[in-house]
Amino acid sequence: MPGTNLTRQEAQERAELISVDRYQIALDISGAPQGGTSSSGSDGSTGATGSAGSAGSAGASPRFGSRTTVHFTARTAGATFIDLIAPEVEEVVLNGTALDPAEVFADSRIALPGVVEGANELLVVARCAYTNTGEGLHRFVDPVDQQTYLYTQFEVPDARRVFACFEQPDLKATFEFTVTAPEGWTVISNSPTPEPVDNVWHFEPTPRLSTYVTALVAGPYHAVHDTWEGEGRSVPLGLYCRPSLAEHLDAEALFAVTKQGFDWFEEQFDYPYPFAKYDQLFVPEFNAGAMENAGAVTIRDQYVFRSKMTDAAYEARAETILHELAHMWFGDLVTMEWWNDLWLNESFATYTSIACQAQAPGSRWPHAWTGFANQMKTWAYRQDQLPSTHPIMADITDLDDVLVNFDGITYAKGASVLKQLVAYVGADEFFQGVRTYFKRHAWGNTRLADLLAALEETSGRDLTSWSRAWLETAGINILRPEIDVDADGVITRFVIRQEAPPLPAGAKGTSTLRPHRIAVGLYDPVDEALVRTHRIELDVTGEETEVPELVGRPRPAIVLLNDDDLSYAKVRLDPESTAQVTRRVGDFTESLPRALCWASAWDMTRDGELATRDYLALVLNGIGKESDIGVVQSLHRQVRLALDLYAAPEWREEGLARWSAAALERLRAAEPGSDHQLAWARALAASARSDAELDVLAGLLDGEVTIDGLDVDTELRWALLRRLVATGRADEPAIEAELRRDPTSAGEEHAAAARAARPTAEAKAAAWDAVVNDESLPNAVREATIGGFVQTDQRELLAPYRDRYFEVIADVWERRSHEAGQGIALGFYPTTQVAQETLDATDAWLEAAKPSAALRRLVTESRAGVERALRAQAADEAAA
């Protein structure tokens, strides 16, 4: 039985047999408000067979009516299947002949045995289930107004949870939605929103789309409208959120970023925005950052900021907005043929969103590549050193493969390689190739070869070998400078050595040396600042690359390989540069070289080449001069991770004490009201441990302690309380009191996290039971509970759950939906138990359980983290 999977071969065979013309989909969600709580709805796991059960049966999940008529053309007579996950199928009619649902519907498929050559018409009538997992049609009840809010999330294969469809990206069609909704609701889809007639909303057919970018959002949403004007055209713009968030919706800022993206993308792509309108809908309990539904982008409503945020948060939100807008062209207008080329969608959108922030006139974030180097590429480097590393162009054999492939390689490594490709072929030539690509393949499906062909035409370069080296191999290279100088400090030899470390055990393929286009920057002190005094750009190939241009120059204070971050490689500093960076990293006049040095130091710490105690010293020495708030916040996260997992156990407490003391000191010294002040307040809230530090948290929370300029608002209050709860300084009455102050869905999630963070065996058992056994728990509350459960300074309390994890995870994976299973598999893995026993327990389970490839990947990735932590701890101990 196929379960809910679909193989690439099955998809290819189906695409060879049929093409799809149009869908007519009628959904009845008029009963959606009934039910009462946000935890209603199914877990979203596998569909039932036949027509067992009914909407009114005891224990049944809330359901909605789904009626789909599909018009498709078959090249020959034969048999195929259509996809559907539903608890009940009432009617299946193919070309006028009724089929028995009990005979043709099983797992996630309806068998179609009587397909005729030429035109076919299929009718499927079903009762589908609302979910609370963020998959299919998610149903949420806002505790503030007790109103119901719905939205769909279909990527990768979840349109079939709402209507019968041929669920693969290359079977594009038009979609005509008719929706019966409760009175007073707003319904939004891919086409412009019509005026309802008797609460029935009939949408005009869409252009040809893949199933996964169709969308439906419905409920009493709050809306703000605007228009983008350009090239004699206007595009209606809409912003939507729940009314309980309306006071926080900064529409002017959101529209400004959106319009900036329209201006820049239309100029770069030379192809008009392809849809009739552009709505952005901030929806609750969303699993991802956002989703590129054509003309109806859904975004997690945490991006409607309820409290003061640093500029880094606004920069990250802007990148998400621009990323999804770029998808309207790359992904929606032109779509990958199969999920092998998922990276094309995500890498292109990531690269162009950062490029837009960095280059668009009037952008607030002209240094966007700094954040990319310090955050996105760090993600890529980490992913590329896991046993699951894979080529950018991954071999996706089925849906299970792609579901775990939304990773740092698909997004960040791919975007890094595209950035290098732009440097290699030239920016003008790159975007000219993209323009050719859009015009040639509009509304169709493509493979990597189609994009490369367009780029070869415009650049005149043969990209075959480049593609083979960068897109079809896995792993990461290391670049090291080797510098010889004479007695006067003049460079006599400069070599860039490239290494290709072996891939991790279990990874497929072999390591390889690659061609790199990089810059080398020379930095020297000028008036107490570190300034770039010379830069060259060159190609690095093979194991050694001589750089004769630098011979005869005085040895600079710092030599920085891959300056300007053109290539994708781990960069090492030579010993003299390392010493200078340790003392003076904050003296760089530009943010990007600082970020590159920070990233190099962090990577060396993860690799055990720099002891955690030395990394802490480096950060404490230089972070005070770091102006980029995004980098500051990244350093906060990295220091805590290093101290929690990479520090030698016997020194860990000393390191943590030094860090928390520094956080309090810098909080008090920060400019009142500044982003740095807020960032240090959050750092203290995450790390306070001494009685004096916890007294400050308690005082800030109850108002007895004030710090000039620091607004202890809703989100900061929860952060303070969670740390007090985790350390035993507060308990359930304080949580209940805070929830009364913030009786929102976000407040409920914070309260769940705080309860799970309590340092008692009873609290841990309750949190574990809720996540593992309560399938009614909404996805956002489940995620918050896991986050509260895992407290790195509660290792002894968490120790018993190492064995419990391996006892339950196979069953959890089997019976829960993908999102729930993945969240539990990753979140509850015993990461805090850094010991050989954890590795042994993992290996024994892998051998005995023989899990599916997707679950095996998640567990082996987590195992690799423990293995790395053991090596880093040994390096830190040796440094003592």
Is residue 121 within 8 Å of residue 70, measured between CB atoms?
Answer: yes
Environment class of 866 (CB within 10 Å of its CB; exposed 0-12, middle 13-18, buried 19+): buried
DSSP state, residue 471: T
Task: Give dist(CA 454, CA 443) in Å, integer.
Answer: 17
Cα separation, 595 vs 513, in Å, equals: 25
Residue with tokens 């002891």: 611
Residues counted in the chain: 880
* CB-CB contact of 115 with 99 (8 Å): no
How many C-beta atoms lie closer than 10 Å to residue 850's C-beta?
A: 9
3 state DSSP class of 418: helix
Can you read off the two tokens belonging to residue 782?
A: 């489940």
Q: 348 near 326, Cβ under 8 Å?
A: yes
| Catalytically annotated residue among 285, 319, 324, 861 | 324
Contact 115, 77 (CB under 8 A): yes
Cα separation, 436 vs 446, in Å, equals 13
Q: Residue 211's closest CA among 293, 306, 324, 141?
A: 293
Q: Distance of alpha carbon 531 from its chain centroid, rounded? A: 35
Q: Is 247 a catalytic residue?
A: no
Cβ neighbours for 8, distance < 8 A, ≥ 6 positions apart = 338, 339, 340, 396, 397, 398
Contact 167/157 with Cβ under 8 angstroms? Answer: yes
Residue 218 and residue 185 in contact, taking contact as beta carbons nearer than 8 Å: yes
What whole-number distance in Å separates Cα of residue 826 and Cα of residue 822? 6
For residues 792 and 130, give the distance between their C-alpha atoms in angstroms, rounded to a whole number.
36
Distances (CA, A) of 718 to 130, 389, 713: 31, 37, 9
Write out the DSSP string of 292-318.
Answer: --TTEEEEEGGGS-SS---HHHHHHHH
| CB 531, CB 589: distance < 8 Å | yes
Annotated catalytic residues are 324
